[in-house]
Structures are given as C-alpha cells and as structure tokens.
C-alpha cells in the first residue's frame, strides 16, 4: 500500500510531489522524527533518496498533503 501511494504521487499526472511531505523516523532528531518534502527526494526501489541518504520505506511514519493536510498514509501505531 505504501509503495502504491508513493508511485501515485511520483508518477500520476494529477499529483504534484511538491504538494506532499513525509514524516520519517530519524533517530537523534527532535522527537526522533523528521519532515521532508517529497519534492526533495527520489524514489529508488524500496528507498527514498534524500540528497545522499537512502531512507528505507519502513521508516516512513506518515505521508500528507501540505496544502490540504490530508493524510494519505499513517503507519500503524504512529501518533503525531
């Protein structure tokens, strides 16, 4: 399901990846979370590539639309 959502955001003409952001598990960051715009990443296999950093998809906690606040994906058990 997560990969399907990301593929839709990255490749479907009705979606713009700059409208979306992900919250990832990032140990050492405030509350162990980091927010990244999908406009700043590439999708390669089962990873998001953020500059030179490969982020495994299992670290994604949430995907949301920055403009509307709509949550497209939320990892089970994750609370903002």
Supply the pTM of this predicted model: 0.88
pLDDT of residue 75: 92
Q: Which contiguous run of DSSP H or E holds residue 61?
A: strand 60-65
- Are 28 and 65 contacting, i.e. CB atoms less than 8 angstroms apart? no
pLDDT of residue 61: 96
For 4-60, the pLDDT digits (tens) are 999 999 999 999 999 999 999 998 888 889 999 999 999 999 999 999 999 999 999
Q: How far is CA 12 from the centre of its chain?
A: 16
Q: How confident is the model at residue 80 (pLDDT cuts 50, 70, 90)?
A: low
Burial of 14 (0-12, 13-18, 19+ CB in 10 A): exposed
pLDDT of residue 57: 96
- Are 59 and 24 contacting, i.e. CB atoms less than 8 angstroms apart? yes
């Amino acid at each position: 399901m997560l990969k399907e959502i990301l593929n839709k955001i990255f490749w479907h003409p009705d979606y713009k990846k700059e409208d979306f952001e992900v919250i990832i598990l990032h140990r050492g960051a405030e509350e162990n979370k980091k927010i990244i715009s999908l406009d700043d990443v590439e999708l390669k296999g089962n990873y998001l590539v953020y500059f030179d950093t490969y982020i495994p998809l299992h670290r994604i906690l949430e995907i949301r639309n920055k403009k509307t606040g709509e949550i497209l994906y939320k990892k089970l058990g994750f609370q903002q």
